[in-house]
Amino acid sequence: MSEERVAVDQEELITVTVGAPAHGGHCVARLDGQVVFVRHALPGERVTAVVTEVHSGYLRADAVEILEPSPDRVTPPCPYAGPGRCGGCDLQHVTPAGQLDWKTAVLREQLTRLGRLAPDEVDALGVAVTALPGGPTGWRSRVRYAVDAAGRPGLLKHRSHEVVPIDRCLIARPEIQALPVLRQSWPTAESVETVASSAGDVVVVEHPGAEPGTVRERALGRTWTLGAETFWQVHPAAAETLVGAALEMVAPRPGERAWDLYGGAGLFAAALAERVGPDGRVTIVESAPDGVRAARENLTDLPWVEVVAARVETALARRRVAGPVDIVVLDPPRSGAGARVVEALVASGARAVGYVACDPASFARDVRTFRDHGWRLAELRGYDCFPMTHHLECVGLLVPN
């Protein structure tokens, strides 16, 4: 146990002083010049950590003894959280306020390092990740439990396919926690999906085999009926929070043309359509067939909404969806939109783009592409849509300079 050692082996114990959080649920420490990504720690702490992975340029380690604790440290409310146990949550050991500080620091770091914004540009944006209503537990409306070879349900260990059997997941909605799923054996299942929708539907889907069925979701004064496994925002307050932020930023006007890219069941499109009205036009682009079906079936009262079933990259490259357009909302998966899509948006004639992002790294890379093409990030809000985990959501406004 020394900071002077150079060669370090897996399972070796090291003692380090922990630095800033990095994207992925760990903090950065240094051991004789080597970077160590330490989980279950907090910035400023002195910890003993067990090395879990040795790579040529860095180590991964789990803090197993806290020598000098941070004031933001708490005893994890979940008995399955901690080194070598359930990998579902990364921040159970952090106070709710500390989790927001952690995520704000990560968002700032990604914008400066990957987005190439200057620190004063980030300061001017007032970047802060804020909490959604409802508290840090009981929020997750969709939980996919893994099942081990003995038929026991649980969740996966961090960076592993090993199932950790559990009897309760504290971040799941109370309706999901009340299900008997975790007290049952699932001899033929590989996973079990549970959904508790905002309209009160509760569904269990066994995989492989079972058909997902449908649930109803409520947002914006509307009810959607969609496949139980069709994408829907997983935190009960996320749908309206993210729509509210994106619409405030792009400020749709009557008669405008709007795109809702990666549109899912048409959550953002419904709000855009109300605002641009029947003299405007909203085009959803969505690639998942169940998402396309849900958007087509649930927005029939808004005939100025069109649903294009395609990958966004393909739809733009083949000009199935082409400018001029006035405003765009995009909500891509974790991989982000990518340079080709951003370039198409820059060329589309849009006056404003509202970018809803669930991954700060791909968001920052896409922001950099916008900036390289003469656009700027004019506004940014962060939301803790995934308490207890390292994940965060943000909504940014991009406009031509």
Ligand X SMILES: C[S@@+](CC[C@H](N)C(=O)[O-])C[C@H]1O[C@@H](n2cnc3c(N)ncnc32)[C@H](O)[C@@H]1O
On the 0-12 / 13-18 / 19+ scale of CB atoms within 10 A, 200 is: exposed
| Interface segment toward ligand X; rule CB under 6 A; list 61-69, 87-95, 149-157, 227-235 | 227-235
Tokens of 262: 């990666």
CA quadruple 134, 135, 141, 145: dihedral, nearest 10:
-170
Q: Does residue 229 touch ligand X according to CB under 6 A?
A: no
Whichever of 73 and 207 has its CB closer to ligand X, that residue is: 207
Tokens of 294: 């849900």
Which parts of 264-303 interact with ligand X (CB under 6 A)?
264-265, 267-268, 285-288, 291
**Is 233 among the annotated ligand-binding positions?**
yes
CA 213 to CA 204: how far, in whole Å? 9
Report the alpha-carbon angle 59-383-103, nearest 5: 25
Whichever of 49 and 398 has its CB closer to ligand X, that residue is: 398
Through-space distance between the first and last CA atoms of the chain, rounded to whole angstroms: 53
- Minimal distance in Å, beta carbon 269 to ligand X? 8
**Is 306 among the annotated ligand-binding positions?**
no
Residue 162 in contact with residue 146, Cβ under 8 Å?
Answer: no
SS3 for 347? coil
Whichever of 76 and 264 has its CB closer to ligand X, that residue is: 264
Q: Does residue 225 touch ligand X according to CB under 6 A?
A: no
The strand pair at 153-156 and 34-39 is best described as unpaired
- Minimal distance in Å, beta carbon 297 to ligand X? 15
Whichever of 268 and 386 has its CB closer to ligand X, that residue is: 268
Nearest-CB residue for ligand X? 264
Cis peptide before 96 (omega within 30 of 0): no
CA 364 to CA 15: how far, in whole Å? 33
User: Residue for token digits 């004789």?
Assistant: 32
Q: Does residue 256 touch ligand X according to CB under 6 A?
A: no
**Is 184 among the annotated ligand-binding positions?**
no
Q: Does residue 263 touch ligand X according to CB under 6 A?
A: yes
**Is 366 among the annotated ligand-binding positions?**
no
Among 333, 340, 349, 372, binds ligand X (CB under 6 A): 333
Tokens of 45: 């702490």
Catalytic machinery residues = 358
Among 102, 139, 224, 231, binds ligand X (CB under 6 A): 231
Q: Does residue 31 touch ligand X according to CB under 6 A?
A: no
- Minimal distance in Å, beta carbon 288 to ligand X? 3
Whichever of 45 and 384 has its CB closer to ligand X, that residue is: 384
Tokens of 103: 């995520």
Residue 382 in contact with residue 356, Cβ under 8 Å?
Answer: no
Binding-site ranges for ligand X (CB under 6 A): 231-233, 262-265, 267-268, 285-288, 291, 311-313, 331, 333, 358
Residue ranges of the binding site:
233, 262, 286, 331
Binding-site residues for S-adenosyl-L-methionine: 233, 262, 286, 331
